[in-house]
């Protein structure tokens, strides 16, 4: 018998954590944080004790699962490098220190950076495995990494193979048939699994209430190119911001900046962490672009920009969610050596994360930018999450006997249930609406 314990990500969008048990063996999928709780905390949230992070709602509560299943945990699988899937590992994984942490090379490199920056320590063995490979956890169970497109590098859909069937954990993915880097999602493997039988599909519902399909990253690159190459602001500064983890998009920004004849410079500690990880993993190299994260080097760069001429540069920086301590927000508050001036250009290559604190912060920083007379462009963006038609395609592709939606608020999970019932699934029998802390047996 297979049992699924919904630990985090089944009540809110964030702090993803799921445990799957077969007999006396348990595999944990993802250990994330609730990003908006970290953003809204006044102070250095990463310095807090895990119990305090749990108290403020930033970590998934694995207490009950740990007491009952902890001794059976054989592996921790991290599907990709976003904080809401990886950020809690350094705070929780020590409870399962005999279990290896398995991730793609890029994900493990980002985790190493998290370990350093969060002042955490991992005793767990770190296992790097590229998409398309399988790791044998025990004589009975193994985990396979299936390549999936998303908004960060080397994202995977995990297939847990057991004698009683395969559980697919697809928590953050999209179907992008025109990626600007890497390959398409491995449709052939998903279809093959569907033809041989999938026992359960656990899939994110973040964007399932958006009808239609999610557009390709290739479209975002064309939108940004069209905007920047046709600007009439030759003598002004251009500032771009997006998610620090979106290495592909940042790489495209650099290419467009160079095509404009401008010099790209990247600012922000989180930018450096994600981009350096990409370089170390031998994926996209950012060695030829300055990535500045310390105060003295940032101030020196600002002086150089003013001296050589603002019109010669494109600055790529943190702050796409209006975070109070991010580079763009501080620039908008005139706290840095380089100020935004009238007719400068700021482009948000992202949407606000759909949680109140991010939406409020984003509105605040946008107003400051507009009040400075800056030309502001927002939402030059395509999502990294599957929309409703994409989710329907996956359901039909893998033909899972059971479907468990995750990574969403109750309305989003309910929308996923509605989609599944339209395909013949029955609520409480083959489609399961779980909340954090609940579990279901799959037979």
419 and 301 within one domain: no
Give the sign of the dihedral formed by CA 126, CA 127, CA 130, CA 132.
negative
pTM: 0.95
> Which domain range does residue 317 map to?
217-377
CATH of the domain at 244: 3.40.50.10710
Q: Give me the number of domains the chain comprises.
A: 2
80 and 208 within one domain: yes
What pLDDT is stored for residue 119 in this prediction? 67
pLDDT tens, position by position, 330-377: 999 999 989 999 999 999 999 888 778 888 999 999 999 999 999 999
200 and 141 within one domain: yes
What pLDDT is stored for residue 39 in this prediction? 83
> For the range 256-263, what are the long-range contacts, defined as Cβ-Cβ under 8 Å and sequence gap of 24 or more?
256/221, 256/224, 256/225, 256/228, 256/229, 256/314, 257/228, 257/314, 257/316, 259/225, 259/229, 260/228, 260/229, 260/314, 262/238, 262/311, 262/312, 262/313, 262/314, 263/312, 263/313, 263/314
364 and 228 within one domain: yes
What pLDDT is stored for residue 358 in this prediction? 85
Ranges of beta strands (E only) in 272-353 are 291-292, 313-317, 345-348
300 and 327 within one domain: yes
What pLDDT is stored for residue 99 in this prediction? 99
303 and 168 within one domain: no
pLDDT tens, position by position, 108-143: 999 999 998 776 789 999 999 999 999 999 999 999
What pLDDT is stored for residue 54 in this prediction? 94
- Choosing from 324, 346, 377, the residue where a domain stops is 377
- Choosing from 377, 412, 431, the residue where a domain stops is 377
420 and 361 within one domain: no
What pLDDT is stored for residue 240 in this prediction? 98
Residues in the chain: 443
274 and 244 within one domain: yes
293 and 305 within one domain: yes
Query: Which ranges of the chain have pLDDT less than 50?
Result: none
What is d(CA 252, CA 221) in angstroms, rounded to the nearest whole number? 7
286 and 271 within one domain: yes
353 and 226 within one domain: yes
Instruction: State residue 19 phi and psi, 5-degree precision.
Output: -115, 135
- Choosing from 377, 401, 424, the residue where a domain stops is 377
CATH of the domain at 25: 3.60.15.10
179 and 245 within one domain: no
What is d(CA 173, CA 193) in angstroms, rounded to the nearest whole number? 17
What is the b/e burial string over 350-373, where b = at least 16 CB atoms within 10 angstroms of the residue's CB?
bbbbebebbbebbeebbebbeebe
What is d(CA 172, CA 181) in angstroms, rounded to the nearest whole number? 18
């Amino acid at each position: 018998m297979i049992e699924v314990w919904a630990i985090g990500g089944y009540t809110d969008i964030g702090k993803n954590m799921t445990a799957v048990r077969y007999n006396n063996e348990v595999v944990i999928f993802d250990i994330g944080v609730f990003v908006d709780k970290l953003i809204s905390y006044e102070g250095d949230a990463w310095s807090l004790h895990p119990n305090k992070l749990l108290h403020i709602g930033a970590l998934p509560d694995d207490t009950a699962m740990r007491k009952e299943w902890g001794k059976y945990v054989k592996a921790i699988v991290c599907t990709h490098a976003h904080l809401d899937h990886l950020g809690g590992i350094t705070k929780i994984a020590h409870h399962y220190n005999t279990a290896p942490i398995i991730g793609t090379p890029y994900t493990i490199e980002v985790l190493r950076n998290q370990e350093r920056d969060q002042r955490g320590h991992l005793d767990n063995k770190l296992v790097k495995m590229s998409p398309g490979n399988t790791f044998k956890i025990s004589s009975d169970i193994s985990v396979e990494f299936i390549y999936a497109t998303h908004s960060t590098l080397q994202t995977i859909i995990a297939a847990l193979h057991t004698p009683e069937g395969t559980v697919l954990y697809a928590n953050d993915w999209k179907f992008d048939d025109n990626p600007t880097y890497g390959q398409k999602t491995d449709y052939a493997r998903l279809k093959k699994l569907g033809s041989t039988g999938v026992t359960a599909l656990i899939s994110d519902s973040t964007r399932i209430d958006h009808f239609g399909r999610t557009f390709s990253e290739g479209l975002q690159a064309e939108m940004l190119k069209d905007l920047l190459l046709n600007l009439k602001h030759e003598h002004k500064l251009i500032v771009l911001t997006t998610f620090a983890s979106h290495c592909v998009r940042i790489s495209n920004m650099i290419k467009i900046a160079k095509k404009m004849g401008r010099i790209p410079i990247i600012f922000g500690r989180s930018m450096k962490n994600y981009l350096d990880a990409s370089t170390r993993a031998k994926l996209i190299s950012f060695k030829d672009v300055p990535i500045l994260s310390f105060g003295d080097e940032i101030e020196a760069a600002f002086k150089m920009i003013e001296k050589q001429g603002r019109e010669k540069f494109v600055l790529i920086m943190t702050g796409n969610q209006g975070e109070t301590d991010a580079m763009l927000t501080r620039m908008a508050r005139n706290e840095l050596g380089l100020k935004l001036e009238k007719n400068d250009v700021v482009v948000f290559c992202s949407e606000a994360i759909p949680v109140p604190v991010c939406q409020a912060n984003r509105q605040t920083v946008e107003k400051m930018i507009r009040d400075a007379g800056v030309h502001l462009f927002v939402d030059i963006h395509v999502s990294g999450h599957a929309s409703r038609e994409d989710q329907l395609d996956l359901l039909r592709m893998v033909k899972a006997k059971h479907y468990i939606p995750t990574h969403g608020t109750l309305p989003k999970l309910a929308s996923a249930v509605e989609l599944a019932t339209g395909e013949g699934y029955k609520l409480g029998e083959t489609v399961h609406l779980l909340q954090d802390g609940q579990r279901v047996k799959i037979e």
